[in-house]
Structure 1
Amino acid sequence: MRLIDKINASGNNPFYTFEFFPPRTDQGFSNLLSRISRLTELKPSAISITWGAGGSTRDRTLELASVTQRDYGVDTIVHVTCTNMEQGMVDDALRAAKRIGIENILALRGDPPRGEEEWTPVDQRFTHAVDLVSYIRSTPEFADSFCIGVAAYPDGHTDKEYSEDEEIDHLKAKVDAGADFIVTQLFYDVDNYMRWLGKVRQRGIAVPVIPGIMPLQTYSSFLRLTKLCGTHIPPEIQAELEPIKHDDQKVKDYGVSLSVRLIKRLVNEGGVTGFHFSTLNLEKSVQRILEGLDWAHKGPSKFQNWLIAETPGPIVHPPEPKSEFVVTPANASDYATSGLNSHLPKEGEVGKGEVNNAATWDEFPNGRFGDVNSPAFGTQDLWGGYSRLRNEASQWARPTSPADITSICLRFLTFHASSWPFSPSPLSSESQLILPHLKRLAHLGWWPVGSQPAVDGARSEDETVGWGPRSGYVYQKAFVEFFVGEEEVRRLEGRVRERGKGEVDLLACNFKDDLRTNVADGERNAVTWGVFPGQEIVQSTIIERESFLSWKDEAFSIWTDWASLYPPGSKERELLEGIRDTRYLVNVTHHDFKNPDALWNFLFEDLPVEPEAALGER
């Protein structure tokens, strides 16, 4: 059924849609289907499936949409973008959607593809989203086949090319071309949204506008996302987050409470009846929000009494969970070391506990790797890309030699630059614990791009390394990632073989997919885990082949993005593309989490010792 028909039939009843993206791994895809199946019990009006630039996730998008539309019986919205799309590709996508019964399309311009200096259409007929809307409506084969949605940006488009009035003019053009509804980018400033919506209505745009809601998951991801999207954060929200930013559980709880509060204001003050939840393939927060609104398990029903008398008030955090046992550093270590592989059931055995429950794999997403089995694996990739590098490149020198890359890396490690291509935000306080080692790697020309120190039973409230609920203990194995040449990789391979299996794990791969490792296929290494009252072991960061290779593709694409900032044939581009083509991304993990120096002793033991002064700023 067309979403616009559902909206028109909903009257004063609330409706909501859920957005998902195709997971990067087969296991994540399979497990997302189970997650969506559970979420369909909340009776969303539609499910929205994203579409990678130029159809990069085309097959997975359509496969996922086919399951939700046909097997689960939920009306599905398929995103289609203009990026890298020619007429034939657009036709193929629309025909495939029709074949599986899709009646709803979200038409978008899309982001620049990786490696492109700017957004450039490959087919001049598809330069903007309005062109895609016009094409669908003017093509007899598709004109009456789809309900079409388009995007809007209450806080302004991330490109910042146009004024707000110009952006509203473009939105009006999309509606005039035949769009049936509008979905907005996420926002947290309700006052600004209401002001913006008033201007939209004054401009004569009368189609339904559905606010985009994205619950906070972690403080770090919140900062990264709002920075990249240009989202305005009201001072009161920032103030409420400040005292709890180091407690992941409280941040998640706050994200639920804040979303409930925002939705209630939008209903009361703006008469909004529909909402679009960007789930990031996560499950619990959306469910808890709908429960907080008394919409869960009932499906869309009449608005509750809170919508009449509700006034904004302070966020109330739920009480701390109680436990019948006390976790101490002594018994926590026992729990941790015995539970590292508890998520791997024997053949024919059904796993149990937190780490085997698909609903809780990513309860505390902490670190890039996560778990490849999680449907949310790779979430951070949604927020990166060329546009960030273009906006931040002014603080980096134009590199023409490997020494220049070292200098750029060291400027980041010495806080003279707030970012570098492999990190959109300043060096974390956790990385500062191992800063002398990271500087030494950089001086060697082994440019570090990811790391964590060893941690043996720190309190979960610790402001530097803590995460998860309070009154717990967290553990970490030290690992570091860096780019080096083939000669150094061979040296590391030999030394890892000398140490024997069980002390050090090595993963190394180049742009051409030459993988060198002592990690067996399917072998999983939990490098971050936590022990919390009333819960089994929570493993928030896992390193294994599949996750490393997935990140490897991302890491080498950053070199391509960086090179694309400079003209073809320039020294800068030749250098950066040469580094991409010749270096290896290396991950070294040391299993002795009780010795904070174990990893670094291993890496540096056969290298000349630099004087301490040489490790400072050069």
Structure 2
Amino acid sequence: MKLTDKILNRTSLTPFYTFEFFPPRTEQGFHNLVSRIERLSKLDPLGVSITWGAGGSTKDWSLKLASICRNEHSIDTTIMHLTCTNMQVGLVDDALRAAKENGIRNILALRGDPPRGEEYWIPTDPRFTSAADLVKYIKSTPEFGDYFCVGVAGYPDGHTESTADEDAQISHLKAKVNAGAEFIITQLFYDADSFLRWHSKVRTAGINVPVIPGVMPIQSYASFMRLTKLCGTRVPQQLLDQINPIRHDDQLVKDLGIRVAVDIVRKLSQNNIQGFHFCTLNLEKSVQKVLEQLRWVGVHAEQHNMLISVSPDHPRSFPPELVITASDAAASASYSLREIHPGSGAMNSAGKGELTSAGTWDEFPNGRFGDSKSPAFGVNDLWDSGLGVTRQQALKDWGLPTTTDDISSLFLRYLKGEAPSTPWSDEPLQSESLPITPHLVHLNSKGWWTVGSQPAVDAVSSEDETYGWGPKGGYVFQKAFVEFFCTKADVIMLQERIQNRGQGWLTFFAANMMDDYMTNLTEEGSNAVTWGVFPGKEISSSTIIERDSFMAWKDEAFGYWTQWGLFHPPDSATRKLLESIRDERWLMSIAHHDYKDSNALWDFLRSE
């Protein structure tokens, strides 16, 4: 069913809501997401939307997931995102035809990432340079025009890549509507007053299609900071003042995220905003708790509908007696994790007991080393933003390397604080890495380019400013590990050294871009390298290295060599160097299990 028809034909007195999901990184994660969507469908969303990776990178998974939602779980309003920039010729038509064949009638038409290197970018379909082009094409093509309901994105806080003022950006939004867009879903925001001001200007500009605000409950401090930076989201100082003191306790951050989302939705509802789009990050409980606290689902929903129906001025607003305070919040989950950097994250692995229940076992944000069975495993950002920098910024920060020594120099400058980032780490080195920086310098000087590491930690307080995470009164532990790009000869040498002299203390994974793979673990083996012990809670293993998670990260890590190369002309020495490194090097991850000896891993790697 078309989304606009569904909105028009609604009979419920509560505002409607939709859920957004992205295709998981692993097959097991995909199957678990399908189960999660089935459970969330019982909350009666008006529809669900499925994201689309840059350049069609998730095409098959996006189509399959959208089809399952539509055809197996009776979610008759399924919205498939579709980006057009950097799409190969014909892929847009293929995607639209596949959506039509599967009964999907709603498309969110997006431009996607801009060509960072312009003529250096991959070949694209010349028909599409903007979302407006895609909208116009769909609506003007007889094969698609009457069949699809087409929506577009709105940017209450402004588009990160636009230098135009707000009025000009609203004019661009109107151009997309004039091209045939029938609804608008906005980028995430955290300032309700600012959204209402923007929404008023949108209506004044003559844009009368449904505008559905995007709401993302905060899941962790690290993901919140990263996503708001990527989206250019304005974060109110009051929210920063609330989240900074609790940034190490993921449960408190999640609880705050639920309260903030409830407050935003409530304020907008009281101002006649009648629909909301929840970005779930493939997680379940936060969105469910938001809806419960709003009393849109559960035992209070019927009472809520009866009460709001008597409000003559705002028939769907909240009466005062239904205002819910923080003390009404649902009981929090029983464990707490964190994200680490670079390229890694945190979640709980499935174990025994209550935490393995389908709705809660992975409810803390996932990342590099989470459990690959999680639907949210490996999420870095929602829109596959790649390196997240412009070509100009890349040239400024990373230069024009033409030799492997130049690559080593970049990594060394980063470790010494002289370069602000690398393609694998978009933030300066964390304080956690300072004790092992001399060791990392040694490895990079050898041409082993490090993209992830952590020191050994033995029972440090969970309140420690550098290493602490989770609730107060706990202790956290870490095994030292490091991962780096190196030659195949280095991998073979280290494999032999670990086998002959490691005495069972070390495990490793190694792979190249073509999926050639080595390890000294069994097929099902995994390695928990970060865990915490907290009063009244099960042990939490927040950082796990196992085959599926390593291979998923391997694909992403090698992809950054490709994306870096695309900033440079095809025949340039820099482009050729980066592509040769991508094609010839291996990614290797080594962990040492003696977490009581802070130098064990580094001494082993220095030995000859």
TM-score by length of 2: 0.88
C-alpha spacing 1:223/1:55, structure 2 compared with 1 (3 Å) = same
In structure 2, how many angstroms separate the alpha carbons of the residues matched to 1:149 and 1:181? 5
The residue aligned with 1:25 is: 26
Letter in 1 for 2:318: L
Residue 417 in 1 paired to residue 428 in 2? Answer: no
The residue aligned with 1:15 is: 16
Tell me if structure 2 keeps the 8 A contact 1:112–1:386.
no
C-alpha spacing 1:253/1:589, structure 2 compared with 1 (3 Å) = same
Deviation at 1:314, TM superposition (A): 9.8
Deviation at 1:367, TM superposition (A): 4.9
Q: Which segment drifts farther, 558-567 or 310-319?
A: 310-319
The residue aligned with 2:432 is: 430
Secondary structure of 1:256's aligned partner = helix
In structure 2, how many angstroms separate the alpha carbons of the residues matched to 1:413 and 1:265? 45
Letter in 1 for 2:398: W
Deviation at 1:443, TM superposition (A): 2.1
Summarize deviations over 1:566-587 as a string: whole Å, max 9, x none.
2233232232223222221110
The residue aligned with 2:483 is: 481
C-alpha spacing 1:367/1:205, structure 2 compared with 1 (3 Å) = closer
Deviation at 1:15, TM superposition (A): 0.6
Aligned residue pairs total 582
Secondary structure of 2:92's aligned partner = helix
Letter in 2 for 1:388: V
In structure 2, how many angstroms separate the alpha carbons of the residues matched to 1:310 and 1:413? 56
1:403 is aligned, of 402, 405, 413, to 405
Letter in 2 for 1:31: N
The residue aligned with 1:362 is: 362
Runs ≥4 in structure 1, deviation > 6 angstroms?
A: 113-121, 298-301, 303-306, 310-323
Summarize deviations over 1:111-146 as a string: whole Å, max 9, x none.
248987777872222222122222222222222212
C-alpha spacing 1:114/1:284, structure 2 compared with 1 (3 Å) = farther
In structure 2, how many angstroms separate the alpha carbons of the residues matched to 1:42 and 1:534? 31
The residue aligned with 1:3 is: 3
Secondary structure of 2:9's aligned partner = helix
Residue 235 in 1 paired to residue 246 in 2? Answer: no
Secondary structure of 1:36's aligned partner = helix
Summarize deviations over 1:69-121 as a string: whole Å, max 9, x none.
12211121111221344674333322222222222111111224898777787
Tell me if structure 1 keeps the 8 A contact 2:192–2:268.
yes
Identity of aligned residues (%): 56
The residue aligned with 2:305 is: 302
In structure 1, how many angstroms separate the alpha carbons of the residues matched to 2:499 and 2:483? 19
Residue 449 in 1 paired to residue 451 in 2? Answer: yes
Q: Which segment drifts farther, 205-214 or 566-575?
A: 566-575
Q: Which segment drifts farther, 430-439 or 160-169?
A: 160-169
In structure 1, how many angstroms separate the alpha carbons of the residues matched to 2:333 and 2:199? 44
Secondary structure of 1:379's aligned partner = coil
Letter in 1 for 2:277: H
Tell me if structure 2 keeps the 8 A contact 1:69–1:101.
yes
Letter in 1 for 2:402: T
The residue aligned with 2:73 is: 72
Secondary structure of 1:42's aligned partner = coil
2:154 is aligned, of 152, 155, 164, to 152
Tell me if structure 1 keeps the 8 A contact 2:120–2:567.
no
Tell me if structure 2 keeps the 8 A contact 1:115–1:557.
no
Letter in 1 for 2:305: K
TM-score by length of 1: 0.87
C-alpha spacing 1:177/1:233, structure 2 compared with 1 (3 Å) = same
C-alpha spacing 1:379/1:585, structure 2 compared with 1 (3 Å) = same
Superposed, 1:179-218 pairs within 5 Å as 179-218=181-220
The residue aligned with 1:564 is: 566
C-alpha spacing 1:445/1:199, structure 2 compared with 1 (3 Å) = same
Unpaired runs of 5+ residues, structure 2, are 309-316, 335-347
In structure 2, how many angstroms separate the alpha carbons of the residues matched to 1:391 and 1:157? 18
In structure 1, how many angstroms separate the alpha carbons of the residues matched to 2:20 and 2:528? 29
Secondary structure of 1:95's aligned partner = helix
Q: Which segment drifts farther, 4-13 or 139-148?
A: 4-13
C-alpha spacing 1:107/1:318, structure 2 compared with 1 (3 Å) = closer
Deviation at 1:9, TM superposition (A): 2.9
In structure 1, how many angstroms separate the alpha carbons of the residues matched to 2:593 and 2:71? 47
Deviation at 1:286, TM superposition (A): 0.7
Tell me if structure 1 keeps the 8 A contact 2:111–2:131.
yes
Deviation at 1:401, TM superposition (A): 2.6
In structure 2, how many angstroms separate the alpha carbons of the residues matched to 1:322 and 1:204? 45
The residue aligned with 2:524 is: 522
In structure 2, how many angstroms separate the alpha carbons of the residues matched to 1:105 and 1:599? 51
Summarize deviations over 1:163-187 as a string: whole Å, max 9, x none.
3223212211221122111000111
1:461 is aligned, of 437, 460, 463, to 463
Letter in 2 for 1:373: K
The residue aligned with 2:590 is: 588
The residue aligned with 1:108 is: 110
Tell me if structure 2 keeps the 8 A contact 1:559–1:576.
yes
Q: Which segment drifts farther, 117-126 or 472-481?
A: 117-126
Secondary structure of 2:305's aligned partner = coil
Deviation at 1:343, TM superposition (A): 4.2
Secondary structure of 1:411's aligned partner = helix
Tell me if structure 1 keeps the 8 A contact 2:25–2:378.
yes
Tell me if structure 2 keeps the 8 A contact 1:116–1:386.
no
In structure 2, how many angstroms separate the alpha carbons of the residues matched to 1:595 and 1:358? 37
Secondary structure of 2:485's aligned partner = strand
C-alpha spacing 1:598/1:380, structure 2 compared with 1 (3 Å) = same
Tell me if structure 1 keeps the 8 A contact 2:21–2:282.
yes
The residue aligned with 1:493 is: 495
C-alpha spacing 1:204/1:410, structure 2 compared with 1 (3 Å) = same
Summarize deviations over 1:437-462 as a string: whole Å, max 9, x none.
22222222212110112222223222
Tell me if structure 2 keeps the 8 A contact 1:503–1:590.
yes
C-alpha spacing 1:114/1:361, structure 2 compared with 1 (3 Å) = farther
In structure 1, how many angstroms separate the alpha carbons of the residues matched to 2:51 and 2:256? 27
Summarize deviations over 1:574-601 as a string: whole Å, max 9, x none.
3222322222111001122222222112
